[in-house]
Amino acid sequence: MGKIVCQHVSKAWGIGTADELLTLDDISFSVSSGEFVVIIGPSGCGKSTLLSMIAGLEKPTSGTILHNGEPIKAPQSDRSLIFQQPSLLPWLSLIDNVAFGLTLKGMNKKERYQRAQHFLSEVGLRNFANKYPHQLSGGMQQRACIARALCLGADIILMDEPFAALDVQTRYNMQKFLLDIWEGTNKTVIFVTHHIDEAVYLADRVIILTARPGRVLESVKINMPRPRDVISTEFERHRAMFVEHLRSEVTKAFAEQELAEMLDTRIK
C-alpha cells in the first residue's frame, strides 16, 4: 500500500460562479514510504493546490487522498508543509519555534527543549538555538523549518518550492543537506519545483503535470546513483526529456490563453 495515494482527485475553485476554475483533473498516483517524489508542471497547473490537499488544508472537489490508507480530512503533525518563505514566528527564538508545536502534544518544558535542541543539532543549527529568525540567513531559516517538521514527528515532508528564494550556492547546499536528512531519516518527501535540474538531482521519481487543468502527464523513475553527477550523459538525458515535456505543455497553455483572450475580445 502507498504511503500517500491520490485516487481520481479533482479540484475546482469557485464552483457555481462565473469564475469557476478546474485546476486539477483526475489525478491518480501513489507515493511509497521513504520515496522522494518531485512534482513539476507549468505555472498555474495546480502543484501547490495538490500539496495543500495532501497537507489537509484544502479538500478535493472529487476523489480521495489517503495517508496510510486513511482519507485525509484535516492537517496533522505527521504531514508537514514547508513553503518558499520560511514560516518561523519572528518573536520566538529558534528553539522556541522548533519546540512550539510540542506544547500541544502535552510534553513538559524540559522534554520539549531537549527534543528541539536535538533536531536543531541535526540540521547544523546547534549554536543558533537562542537566535531569532531575522538573525539567520534564508537557508538557515529553511533548515530550522525542517528541524521543526522533524521535531513534530512528521513522516511526510511536503515542500513547495522551498529553495526558490535562495541564491544559487545556498540552493545547492540545501539540496545536498535535504538529501542527507532524507537518507538519514527515511522520511517520505513530496517536493514541488520549477527547476528541472533540482528535480533530476533530488528525485526518486518525477511526476509531470500538464498545463491547467493539471493531469498526470508522466511519472518517471530516476535510477541514477547519488550523489548525482550533474554533467553526466544520464543527467542530461533526463533534463532534456523534462524540458521537452514542459515546453510543449507551456506552449499549449499559451495557445489556450491567447484563444480565450481572442474570444473574449470578440464577445466584447
Residues making contact with ligand ATP (CB under 6 A): 13, 21, 23, 41, 43-49
Sheet strand arrangement including 79-82: 79-82, 156-160, 188-192, 36-40, 205-209, 216-221
Residue 46 C-beta: closest distance to ligand ATP, Å? 4
Of 10 and 117, nearer to ligand ATP (C-beta) is 10
> Rounded to whole angstroms, how far apart are CA atoms 207 and 199?
10
The one-letter amino acid code at 114 reads Q
Residue 165 C-beta: closest distance to ligand ATP, Å? 13
> Rounded to whole angstroms, how far apart are CA atoms 23 and 37?
21
Residue 58, helix vs strand vs coil: coil
Of 44 and 153, nearer to ligand ATP (C-beta) is 44
41 contacts 56 by C-beta, under 8 angstroms: no
Of 42 and 139, nearer to ligand ATP (C-beta) is 42
> Rounded to whole angstroms, how far apart are CA atoms 99 and 107?
10
115 contacts 107 by C-beta, under 8 angstroms: yes
Grid cell for residue 190: 513530496
Of 28 and 121, nearer to ligand ATP (C-beta) is 28
Residue 216 C-beta: closest distance to ligand ATP, Å? 13
Of 156 and 253, nearer to ligand ATP (C-beta) is 253
> Rounded to whole angstroms, how far apart are CA atoms 21 and 235?
36
Residue 175 C-beta: closest distance to ligand ATP, Å? 19
Residue 260 C-beta: closest distance to ligand ATP, Å? 13
